[in-house]
Amino acid sequence: MNTEDFLSDDFLKQFKTGQQLNDFLGQIQKRAIEKMLEGELDGHLGYEKNEQNDSKNARNGYGKKKIKTQYGESEIKVPRDRDASFNPMIVPKRESMVEGIEEVIVSLYAKGMSVSDIEEQIKDVYKFEVSTATISRITSRIAEDIVAWQNRPLERVYLIVWMDGIVFKVRENSKVVNKTVYIAVGLRQDGFKEVLGMWLSKNESAASVLTDMKARGLEDILITATDNLNGFTQTIRTVFTQSATQVCVVHQIRNSCRYVVWKDKREFSHDMKDIYGAPTRQAAQAALQALEANGAASMGMLSKVGKTTGKS
């Protein structure tokens, strides 16, 4: 059924304030939840209301329950069965919040709000109170899932693993300090990519990252690609001795541009892309020699950088 068939323009014009519309939507949601609960009980019992059946279990009236939704707090009728085996999915037993509110709480928690701040925000926006214990219980579920994901077993071998670190300035104990978030993305043998993990460190040290991945079952990486943060490449060679390492081309070109005057940077970057994009080693060497032949003052130093990177 089209919503315009029962929500006409004349009907909607009767609402003069946002609160009136919100109250109406809350009533609609209340009735919808009650009908959905009755439908769930029909499915649980295996027959609809007033149908003849041979089941030992049957309907057993209604109970009352207060729920909290994005439209506020309301009281609904919850159907019951004689065996007390009916556990509705939309509003589970011993739960008072419909899905949506929990998502709001998790979203506020992810943005860095404290439990007391979330409590006040929910009270101001939705006009009902959620205890700090309830908020902590909801956020702890997410924390448990995060820990489980961080410690999940990895594949034995990954074809390629990309590693990078981003440095953030954060306030800690009234001081601004640098912290590095490392991320590793692996290419599995079935062709799919997988985020292997994210690690927070006070300094740019990759040893703990690699040790953690090895402890979770990773035995070998065929190729690792990094931007060589603080000896990343050397650490990889120590932990995964058979892995071939490759420095990120974008970072390599960016670092090389430091030695080039501004007016030559665009042409130089184009020439460097020809080197790193070459299909073979011989083609890359030819492109490097062409770059050296340009005669720029800084080409000698840069060609040494390129040759050193090429060997790795």
Query: What pairing do the DSSP bridges indicate for beta strands 220-226 and 244-247?
Result: parallel
Instruction: Tell me the percentage of the chain whose pLDDT exceeds 90.
Output: 10
Identify the pLDDT of residue 72. 72
Identify the pLDDT of residue 1. 47
pLDDT digits (tens, 9 = 90+) for 98-147: 655 656 666 666 666 777 777 776 666 555 566 677 667 666 766 777 78
From the list 239, 217, 112, the residue with the least C-alpha distance to 163 is: 239
Number of Cβ within a 10 Å radius of residue 64:
8
pLDDT digits (tens, 9 = 90+) for 255-285: 777 777 777 778 877 877 888 788 888 888 8
The average confidence (pLDDT) of the chain is 76
In the chain, what is the straight-line distance between the N-terminal and C-terminal CA atoms, in Å? 65
Record the tokens describing residue 200, joined without a space: 């927070």
Residue pair 45/55 in contact (Cβ under 8 Å)? The answer is: yes
Please tell me the number of Cα atoms within 13 Å of 70 on its side-chain side. 9
Identify the pLDDT of residue 157. 94
Mean pLDDT for the stretch of residues 278-303: 69
Mean pLDDT for the stretch of residues 232-241: 81
Q: Is the pLDDT of residue 295 over 60?
A: no
Identify the pLDDT of residue 298. 46
Contacts of 32 (CB under 8 A, 6+ apart): none
Identify the pLDDT of residue 215. 92
Identify the pLDDT of residue 141. 64
Select the highest-mean-pLDDT range: 54-68, 146-160, 219-233, 282-296: 146-160
Identify the pLDDT of residue 312. 45
C-alpha pair distances (Å), 130 with each of 107, 194, 286: 15, 37, 69
pLDDT digits (tens, 9 = 90+) for 33-57: 787 778 878 887 887 887 777 778 8
Least confident of 9-18, 95-104, 187-196: 95-104
Q: Is the pLDDT of residue 248 over 80?
A: no
